[in-house]
A and B are shown apart, each in its own frame.
Chain A
Amino acid sequence: MAEVQPRTARAAWPAPGVSRPLPWARRRAWRTLRRGSGLFNLAFLALVVIGAVFAPQITRYDPAASEVTQRLQPPGWLGGASRAHLLGTDQLGRDVFARLVYGSRISLIVGLSTVAISAVLGSGLGVLAGYYGGRVGLVLMRLADIQLAFPFLLLALAMVVVLGVGLLNVILILGIAGWVGFGRVARGQVLSIKEREYVEAARAVGAGETAIIAQHIVPNLLTPIIVLATASVANNIVIEASLTFLGLGVQPDLPSWGNMLADAREYLNVAWWMSVFPGVALTLTVLTVNLLGDWLRDYLDPTLRNV
């Protein structure tokens, strides 16, 4: 007698709702990417990532090294006294381009790690609240309500008072505080999925709780979570930069875009390049991540359109 291979069994009944992207869908994705500003977005984001990864290879300057004789030099291509500094220098004679490139590291690290923390934490708690419901679910959702009573930036500020300034603290604060969005989305999704026929069918054939959650619930959660995660990356990058700008984010000696802009504020009327370039980098990064999020949402789940 032939053994029933688990793989074949699964192939015969693919979990509904987890259809693989069909060739036509892939073509559609490519088409929308090409038509809109999609390719530009991807190219810019790739540039930011490459900049973050290969920062030491891209610029020969140390982002922290100050050269007092080279203070506040305008960008090289504007015929500044020193052509060596592509985007000029800041008030301590540090190379703006080098700080810009290294600064992308902070933004990316914060954006990605915080969202990873919130997504895992939030989805886990959301699944717990949605699948098992009961008192745990109620308590979790009340906690979410309470947390939502604080504007996010204010909550982050209050927690900075507790933990103090620093990159790790900012990541922890934004990561943990961000669970609410993911928790609510995951819970809502689980509540509707667990009543579907295929979950009932799985239960009827004797699938355990873990199997149901892993095979039926989690795959269906991925789409809304990915869409929310993309938006959160953009959001958290801005919040970190804002906190740092106020002097309440990452350490002031780190080359981050928020710190560069904080320095630039004092030299607005003498050194416009100090404020313009990091701001443009920050805005473009946020803009492209936002647009990528819009595109992902339209592509992954057309029912979520609007807004």
Chain B
Amino acid sequence: MLGYTLSRLAQAVMVVAGVLVTVFVILHLTGDPAAMLLPPGASEKDLAVVRHKYGLDRPLPVQLLRFFIGDAFTPPGREQSTVRLTGYGTGEIQSTLRRVRGAIFGDFGNSIRFTDQPAMPIVLQRFPYTVQLMVAAAAYSTVLSLVLGTVSAVRPYSLLDQGVRTFAILNQSIPNFWLALVLILIFAVHLGLLPSMGYGSWKDVILPAITLGSQSLGRNTRLVRSSVLESLGQDYVRTARAKGLPERGVVAKHVLKNAMIPVVTVWGLDVGNLFGGAVITESIFGWPGTGRLIVESVTFRDFPTVASAVFFIALVFVIMNMLVDLSYMWLDPRVKLG
């Protein structure tokens, strides 16, 4: 068991290293990284200066090493340094750069949009808001899918069941961003019940959470339904019924507990989907989280911030998936390790 934990951990570390290499590759594919650090239309001479200062004229493996643990984003050997550039018509442009420690510590240099601020802290500041939204969405989709899936499975092929199944597949198929527009149209524009965007009161979280939770609500409802249906046919359910337990008790005590297992299983998957969905949901509802930050940074071509955010989210995702995998071991000893 310890062996499995360690090997799973090693695997996670390798994946994270791979993620960093990917970010490095993407960074180099964006064209000239030096051009990113200068205002558009910088002269070839200035580009060469910056390229040399940042070591971008060195061989790629050296650059990769510096990207990982070095000072790829700062001129070597200085805590704080100022790059002086001329030739923009406005006189001198100065940019102060901090001493950084490399991507392994989550340092991808300074944000381009928020000049002179390191990118990673900006991402971290926004992250708790995303977590709030994700927790709200997960709670909404989990609770509702358990209720709907169960009532639907207890009376299969009834009118209620048909309704629930339609609702589920609709939730799965409706694109997040359109659902957001429809919810705003109904609840904010026409009924005036809920705010269409913002962050502050508890009312602000309702529409974003419904939007973000819709995909997993749809899938989990179908999952719970089929898994409850399956457990209803099991021997232990017949035994429970035979000993005179009322149907309600059978479902609550024996069926639901087992039906939870597949839902817990897809939670790990859901985290990834929620991160993806958060990008859209936060942008529409003006939620101050990481997702909206990413979209704004992409539009701004603020690559250090995009890289920080993507790396951080990938890191969280890898850790979550590792924890989910490890938790199987505790939850269900029958699970084959490998």
**A72 interface hit (Cβ, 8 Å):** no
Question: B residues within 8 A CB of A102?
Answer: none
| CB proximity to B under 8 Å, residues A141-179 | 142-143, 145-147, 149-155, 157-162
The chain B residue with its CB closest to the CB of A246 is B295
A154 in contact with B275 given A242-B176, A307-B226 (CB within 8 Å): yes
Stretch from B69-77, B143-151, B239-247, B299-307 at the A interface: B299-307
A146 in contact with B22 given A153-B276, A290-B173, A307-B226 (CB within 8 Å): yes
Tell me whether B276 and A268 are in contact (CB under 8 A): no
**A279 interface hit (Cβ, 8 Å):** yes
> What total of chain A residues lie within 8 Å of the partner, measured CB to CB?
43
Give the total number of A-B pairs whose CB atoms are below 8 A apart: 132
* Minimum-distance CB pairs A-B, first 6: A146-B18, A153-B276, A287-B173, A279-B178, A151-B276, A151-B275
Question: A residues within 8 A CB of B306?
Answer: 157-158, 161
Between A and B, 8 residue pairs with Cβ closer than 8 Å are A151-B317, A152-B276, A154-B279, A160-B298, A162-B26, A264-B181, A279-B181, A306-B226
Stretch from B46-54, B86-94, B182-190 at the A interface: B182-190
Q: How far is the CA of A275 from the CA of B186 in the complex (A)?
A: 12
A261 in contact with B178 given A287-B169, A287-B173 (CB within 8 Å): yes
> What total of chain B residues lie within 8 Å of the partner, measured CB to CB?
51
Question: B residues within 8 A CB of A150?
Answer: 19, 22, 310, 313-314, 317
Q: A residues within 8 Å of B by Cβ?
A: 142-143, 145-147, 149-155, 157-162, 234, 238, 241-242, 245-248, 261, 264-265, 268-269, 272, 275-276, 279, 282-283, 286-287, 290-291, 306-307
Q: B residues within 8 Å of A by Cβ?
A: 11, 14-16, 18-19, 22, 26, 29-30, 169-170, 172-178, 181-182, 184-185, 189, 196, 219, 222-223, 226, 272-273, 275-277, 279-280, 283-284, 294-295, 298-299, 301, 303, 306-307, 310, 313-314, 317-318
Nearest CB of chain B from residue A177's CB, rounded to whole Å: 11
The chain A residue with its CB closest to the CB of B273 is A151
Tell me whether A234 and B173 are in contact (CB under 8 A): yes
| A290 touches which of B169, B184, B313 (Cβ 8 Å) | B169
Q: How far is the CA of A145 from the CA of B318 in the complex (A)?
A: 10
Nearest CB of chain B from residue A217's CB, rounded to whole Å: 24
Nearest CB of chain A from residue B297's CB, rounded to whole Å: 9
Q: How far is the CA of A241 from the CA of B175 in the complex (A)?
A: 9
Nearest CB of chain A from residue B9's CB, rounded to whole Å: 14
Q: How far is the CA of A157 from the CA of B317 in the complex (A)?
A: 17
Tell me whether A161 and B298 are in contact (CB under 8 A): yes
Question: B residues within 8 A CB of A162?
Answer: 26, 29-30
Tell me whether B318 and A157 are in contact (CB under 8 A): no
Q: How far is the CA of A248 from the CA of B283 in the complex (A)?
A: 13
Question: A residues within 8 A CB of B15?
Answer: 142, 145-146, 149
Nearest CB of chain B from residue A185's CB, rounded to whole Å: 16
The chain B residue with its CB closest to the CB of A163 is B29
Tell me whether A154 and B313 are in contact (CB under 8 A): yes
Tell me whether A282 and B189 are in contact (CB under 8 A): no
The chain B residue with its CB closest to the CB of A290 is B173
Question: B residues within 8 A CB of A152?
Answer: 272, 276
Tell me whether B279 and A153 are in contact (CB under 8 A): yes
Tell me whether A286 and B276 are in contact (CB under 8 A): no
Question: A residues within 8 A CB of B173?
Answer: 234, 283, 286-287, 290
| B178 touches which of A143, A159, A246, A283 (Cβ 8 Å) | A283
Q: How far is the CA of A10 from the CA of B11 in the complex (A)?
A: 46
Nearest CB of chain A from residue B31's CB, rounded to whole Å: 8
Tell me whether A238 and B175 are in contact (CB under 8 A): yes
